[in-house]
């Protein structure tokens, strides 16, 4: 679906649909429900990261590996600047938020950059695509370790420490091992994977939708959303919008100070200001398990995913219309 040059991914509508299904028929997707979606989602996490390893092409990373100042800026924006801004903005309001929502905002800040969206939007905006590929991929790999560590630190500041060792064990079994097996499988399946990228992406998104359905079904049955109305959704939307604007503006100023040209600045902005729903949802399931609050925890990430696609889609079209460099 396209409106004035801005493409709206059908995945966004699918996310809305599964949340609505969870609200109407929560027993259907709940843990222990008739469809046993919780078990499918758990094994699906390993499948997601196996497919990620299968489609990860190391040779593409080499094309953008030399611009170390830009790489450092993007990774620092993702794992230092973004979490710090979220922490500072959320800290004064944490006591007034429903249980789990502050964790959700902090989790958003701790996530890695997205791969497909940032690369596609950088290409649309006529930015430095090899740089975007390198940094988006590197961010996803770093995030496997950095996101749990950041969340453990966030949790320690609130007096509710995260049990890091069990989380790391699950990450090794459900993330690192499948990714390594996927890379190994490239020796035989590389050509097949390159020919079926769209089908692989559909499987990836289907698993994410199942995890979202399970999380929101559990949260509905657990009464997490009881007493909350559209005001809470509006407040979350304002929160993620403020976070995006602050991160984007600060990062743009950093790019200007460092003297990056326009294509490099586009890659930096479009990689450093986005967060990965595709990584965030499976990692949340690993870190928080079947906690009824999981639906509330991933809600800011889902809203931010919609916001970043819409806003950066508009900005990418504007950048694309600039005179030739």
Q: Can you spell out the DSSP letters for 262-306?
A: HHHHHHHHHHHS---HHHHHHHHHHHHTT-TTHHHHHHHHHHHHH
**Per-residue confidence (pLDDT) for residue 14, from 0 to 100:** 83
- Out of 26-30, 181-185, 293-297, give the one with best mean pLDDT: 181-185
Tokens of 93: 């309001």
Average pLDDT, the chain: 84
184 vs 41, residue with greater confidence: 184
Specify the pLDDT at position 147: 92
The yes-or-no verdict on residue 159 having pLDDT over 60 is no
Q: Determine the average pLDDT of the residues in 21-45.
A: 81
Residues 6 or more apart whose Cβ sits within 8 Å of residue 120: none
pLDDT of residue 273: 94
Residue 32 in this model has a pLDDT that exceeds 60: yes
CATH number of 2-320: 1.20.1530.20
Cα(26)–Cα(33) distance, integer angstroms: 9
pLDDT at 106 over 70: yes
**pLDDT on residue 6:** 43
- Mean pLDDT for 132-159 is 84
Longest dimension (CA), the chain: 58
Report in angstroms the alpha-carbon separations of 210 from 17, 36, 199, 217.
11, 10, 17, 10
pTM of the model: 0.83
Query: In this predicted structure, what is the pLDDT of residue 78?
Result: 96
Q: Per mean pLDDT, which range of 102-106, 233-237, 271-275 is the poorest?
A: 233-237
Task: Give 4's pLDDT tier (boundaries 50, 70, 90).
Answer: very low
Res 323 pLDDT > 80: yes
- Per-residue pLDDT band for 135 (boundaries 50, 70, 90) equals confident
Half-sphere exposure of 287 (CA within 13 A, CB side): 28
Helix intervals (H) in 113-229: 116-124, 129-157, 164-171, 177-195, 197-221
The residue written with tokens 């590389």 in the block is: 190
Pairwise CA distance, residues 308 & 291, whole Å? 27
Gap between the Cα atoms of 301 and 286, Å rounded: 16
pLDDT in tens, 253-312: 999 999 999 999 999 999 999 998 888 888 888 888 778 888 889 889 988 988 888 888
Binned at pLDDT 50, 70 and 90, residue 124 comes out as: confident
Residue 5 is predicted with a pLDDT of 41
Percentage of residues in the chain having pLDDT higher than 70? 90
pLDDT digits (tens, 9 = 90+) for 192-234: 988 988 888 888 888 888 888 888 888 788 766 665 666 788 8
Q: What is the pLDDT of residue 2?
A: 41
Q: What is the reported pLDDT for 1? A: 43
Query: Regarding predicted confidence, which is higher, 47 or 11?
Result: 47
pLDDT at 270: 94
């Amino acid at each position: 679906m396209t409106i004035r040059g801005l493409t709206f991914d059908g995945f966004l509508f699918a996310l809305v649909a599964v949340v609505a299904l969870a609200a109407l028929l929560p027993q259907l997707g709940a843990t222990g429900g008739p469809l046993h979606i919780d078990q499918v989602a758990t094994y699906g996490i390993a499948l997601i990261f196996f497919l990620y390893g299968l489609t990860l092409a190391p040779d593409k990373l080499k094309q953008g590996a030399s611009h170390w100042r830009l790489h450092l800026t993007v990774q620092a924006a993702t794992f230092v600047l973004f979490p710090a801004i979220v922490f500072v903005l959320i800290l004064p309001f944490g006591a007034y938020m429903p249980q789990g929502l502050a964790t959700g905002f902090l989790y958003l800040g701790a996530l890695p950059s997205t791969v497909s969206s940032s690369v596609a939007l950088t290409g649309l905006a006529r930015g430095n695509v090899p740089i975007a590929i390198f940094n988006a991929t590197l961010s996803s790999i770093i995030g496997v370790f950095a996101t749990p560590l950041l969340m453990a630190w966030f949790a320690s500041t609130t007096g509710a420490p995260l049990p890091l060792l069990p989380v790391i064990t699950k990450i090794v079994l459900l993330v690192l091992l499948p990714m390594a097996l996927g890379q190994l499988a490239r020796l035989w399946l590389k050509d097949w994977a390159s020919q079926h990228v769209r089908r692989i992406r559909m499987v990836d998104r289907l698993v994410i939708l199942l995890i979202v359905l399970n999380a929101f079904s559990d949260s509905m049955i657990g009464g997490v959303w009881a007493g909350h109305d559209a005001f809470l959704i509006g407040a979350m939307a304002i929160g993620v919008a403020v976070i995006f604007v602050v991160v984007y503006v600060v990062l743009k100023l950093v790019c200007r100070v460092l003297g990056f040209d326009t294509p490099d600045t586009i890659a930096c902005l479009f990689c450093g200001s986005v967060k990965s729903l595709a990584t965030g949802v499976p990692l949340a399931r690993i870190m928080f398990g079947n906690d009824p609050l999981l639906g509330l925890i991933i809600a800011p990430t889902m809203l931010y995913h919609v916001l970043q696609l819409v806003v950066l889609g508009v900005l990418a079209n504007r950048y694309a219309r600039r005179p030739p460099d």
